[in-house]
Chain A
């Protein structure tokens, strides 16, 4: 295993880098196309949260194994202002910026596991995992997709 990937996130270009690296890491694990899009989009949302609210932080990507299961873990970490009301931040349409307020609840819907730890004045850490579906329900993936 190549080990974890760390991407420091400060600008909108870093958001693109983070989601591209996530896709590159997830693809050889056998995730299908729609899952790759979900993973990349979820990374994009948590990375943007860092840029918008904390200014800078990092995204850590790694492969996770749990017995037979294999998947990807995405950690988004910053030492920004933190989230005062996590429960509220996880509601669709709630935003303290001008965004659509779908980023965090959307990322949670797109991944299998989603944990958020935040302390005001200290920062926020989001850990999300997505497991590859078992071989049986993985449909045949035509070449070139």
Chain B
């Protein structure tokens, strides 16, 4: 399943669908890395509102994605982690290791904008 990537000003917004398989997540990383260069984006928002599971693979993939995006000169914010998903992630023992998170896309954009000003 392809993850749609939206360009909004200096930022890219990727909205992940609920049935995301491992390969889709890796494909998304590749696409985002390319597009960050293409559009000279300053930040990337990955919206996981639709995800009902965030397992160890997904978490590791998002951590790698955020690190790689940082190497490309942009920042990543994960938004929309559902309360049940957050609870399950903690039980599993996962952490996002320094990736910034926000409640939704709007707050994610705000966070990226503030980072630029500061």
Residues of A within 8 A of B (CB): 11-13, 15-16, 19-20, 23, 33-34, 36-38, 40-41, 44-45, 48, 92, 99-100, 102-103, 105-107, 109-110
Check if A102 sits within 8 Å of B52, measured CB to CB: no
Check if B55 sits within 8 Å of A45, measured CB to CB: yes
> Which of B4-12, B14-22, B41-49, B109-117 touches A?
B14-22
Check if A37 sits within 8 Å of B85, measured CB to CB: yes
A100 to B55: give the CA distance in the assembly, Å.
10
Flag whether B3 is at the interface (Cβ < 8 A). no
Q: A37-B88, A100-B94 are in contact. Are A19 and B53 (CB under 8 A)?
A: yes
Q: Report the tally of A-B residue pairs with Cβ distances under 8 A.
A: 79
Q: A16-B20, A40-B52, A99-B60 are in contact. Are A45 and B92 (CB under 8 A)?
A: yes
A33 to B86: give the CA distance in the assembly, Å.
12
A40 to B18: give the CA distance in the assembly, Å.
12
8 example contacts (A-B, Cβ-Cβ < 8 A) are as follows A36-B84, A37-B52, A41-B54, A48-B22, A48-B56, A92-B93, A102-B92, A103-B56
A44 to B93: give the CA distance in the assembly, Å.
14
Shortest Cβ distance from A145 into chain B, in angstroms?
A: 9
A33 to B84: give the CA distance in the assembly, Å.
6
Which of A19, A33, A99 is within 8 Å of B56, CB to CB? A99
B54 surroundings in chain A (CB, below 8 A):
41
Interface centre among B20, B54, B57 (most CB of A within 10 A): B57
Check if A100 sits within 8 Å of B84, measured CB to CB: no
Given contacts A37-B52, A37-B88, A41-B92, 15 further A-B contacts (CB under 8 A): A15-B22, A20-B19, A33-B83, A34-B83, A34-B87, A36-B84, A37-B82, A38-B87, A40-B88, A41-B55, A92-B93, A99-B57, A103-B56, A109-B92, A110-B92
Name B94's closest neighbour in chain A (CB-CB): A102
Which of B57, B88, B89 is within 8 Å of A48, CB to CB? B57
Name B19's closest neighbour in chain A (CB-CB): A16
A38 surroundings in chain B (CB, below 8 A):
87-88, 91
Which of A20, A23, A44, A92 is within 8 Å of B55, CB to CB? A44
List 6 A-B pairs, minimum CB-CB distance, nearest first.
Answer: A37-B84, A106-B92, A12-B22, A44-B55, A37-B88, A12-B21
